[in-house]
């Protein structure tokens, strides 16, 4: 009986030792993860670096060359709430995820739709905005066409290289020719010039372009495609950053700040004189 008790005692001590070691190891790993978080880097640096591309009305240059739009407003508000300065790093869309992974900036806030393919390379926050794609067409070149008529070898689309519309066009209209450019403006210009029948982009861009060029451009279908959410993109293996950005987004959905700011840029015209 004494031997049994002694064995149980030895086993209990060993189990406690293993549990204590495991707890210490877990705590140490958690502390290291926290120390390695980009959130700590931002706090120490005193600046958050945000990668974005320029496309209306997400982010654009005003008449003085300063960045304005929904994303700069979000970035400045995020920085203010963190108690740091903000530095925007304009980056071409096709290279924006590689630049994030390479550490050129801390986070992408640039109207990036959350997709499984992108999620293989980066992590996404919860959506902070929601939008959909519409077709912007050259009215004369597409007059009388039904949606299915756009899936033809005789049709040419234009789009911004690496962006969601390019992927959607290839899947939805696989027979059509596709011209790719580094900027939304160049893709739209191809339609204006008659070199492409249509392009696709996130609203309200197509509707605004149609209002500015009513003699040439139109949004032929009252239909939004591939509606989804846009999230902050960040490097993988950073649970602290994911937790912070998600809590910030939830907070400002709850207060209404995100909706009010989104409505200003996407539903109103008051800002047009800043950029035209």
Pairing of strands 129-138, 217-218: antiparallel
How high is the pLDDT of residue 32?
47
Summarised one tens digit per residue, pLDDT across range 213-261 is: 999 999 999 888 887 799 999 999 999 999 999 999 999 999 999 999 9
Spatial distance between the Cα atoms of 182 and 271, rounded to a whole number of angstroms? 25
Does the structure show a pLDDT above 70 at 77? yes
- Provide the pLDDT confidence category of residue 9 given band limits of 50, 70 and 90: low
- C-alpha dihedral (28, 31, 36, 41), degrees to nearest 10: -150
Contact 87, 51 (CB under 8 A): no
pLDDT, position 3:
54
Using the structure block, give the residue that is written with the tokens 């654009």: 60
Two structure tokens written together for 129: 């905005």
| Span of 4-13, 25-34, 97-106, 207-216 with lowest mean pLDDT | 25-34
Q: Is 35 exposed, middle or buried (0-12, 13-18, 19+ CB in 10 A)?
A: exposed
Q: Both tokens of residue 106?
A: 């801390």
Please report which helix (H) or strand (E) contains residue 244, including its range: helix 239-255
Q: Are 275 and 62 in contact (CB under 8 A)?
A: yes
Give the whole-angstrom CA distance, residue 234 versus residue 39.
11
Among 178, 161, 38, which residue's Cα sits nearest to residue 95?
161
What pLDDT is stored for residue 232 in this prediction? 98
pLDDT (tens digit, 9 = 90+) per residue, 100-132? 999 999 999 999 999 999 999 999 999 999 888
Model-level pTM greater than 0.75?
A: no
Question: Does residue 161 carry a pLDDT above 70?
Answer: yes
DSSP state of 69: S
Q: Transcribe 125-172 into DSSP letters.
A: -S-SEEEEEEEEEEHHHHTT--GGGGSSTT-EEEEETTSHHHHHHHHH
Q: What is the mean pLDDT of residues 154-164?
A: 94
User: 132-226: what fold?
Assistant: D-Maltodextrin-Binding Protein; domain 2 (3.40.190)
Judge whether residue 183 has pLDDT over 80: yes
Q: Which of 67, 124, 79, 90 has its CA nearest to residue 265?
A: 67
User: Is residue 270 predicted with pLDDT exceeding 50?
Assistant: yes
Q: Which residues pair with 52 in a beta bridge?
A: 90
In which band, very low, low, confident or very high, does the pLDDT at 29 lie, cut at 50, 70 and 90? very low
Rg (CA), the chain: 25
Superfamily of domain 38-128+231-275: Periplasmic binding protein-like II (3.40.190.10)
Confirm if 138 and 196 have CB atoms less than 8 A apart. Answer: yes
Start-end ranges of CATH 3.40.190.10 in the chain? 38-128+231-275, 132-226
């Amino acid at each position: 009986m004494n031997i049994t008790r002694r064995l149980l005692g030895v086993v209990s001590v060993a189990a406690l030792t293993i549990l204590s070691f495991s707890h210490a190891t877990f705590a140490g790993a958690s502390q290291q993860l926290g120390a390695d978080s980009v959130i700590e880097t931002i706090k120490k640096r005193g600046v958050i670096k945000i990668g974005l591309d320029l496309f209306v009305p997400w982010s654009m240059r005003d008449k003085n060359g300063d960045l304005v739009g929904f994303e700069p407003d979000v970035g400045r508000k995020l920085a203010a709430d963190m108690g740091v300065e903000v530095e925007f790093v304009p980056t071409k869309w096709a290279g924006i995820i590689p630049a994030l992974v390479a550490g050129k900036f801390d986070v992408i806030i640039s109207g990036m739709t959350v997709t499984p393919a992108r999620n293989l390379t980066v992590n996404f926050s919860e959506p902070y905005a929601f939008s959909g794609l519409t077709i912007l067409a050259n009215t004369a070149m597409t007059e009388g066409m039904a949606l299915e008529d756009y899936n033809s070898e005789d049709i040419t689309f234009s789009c911004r290289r690496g962006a969601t519309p390019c992927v959607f066009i290839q899947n939805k209209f696989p027979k059509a020719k596709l011209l790719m450019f580094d900027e939304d403006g160049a893709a739209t210009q191809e339609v204006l010039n008659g070199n492409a029948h249509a392009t696709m982009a996130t609203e309200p861009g197509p509707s605004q372009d149609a209002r500015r060029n009513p003699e040439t451009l139109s949004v032929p279908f009252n239909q939004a495609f591939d509606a989804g959410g846009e999230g902050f993109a960040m490097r993988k293996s950073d649970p602290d950053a994911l937790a912070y950005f998600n809590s910030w987004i939830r907070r400002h959905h709850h207060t209404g700040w995100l909706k009010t700011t989104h409505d200003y840029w996407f539903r109103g015209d008051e800002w047009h004189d800043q950029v035209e």
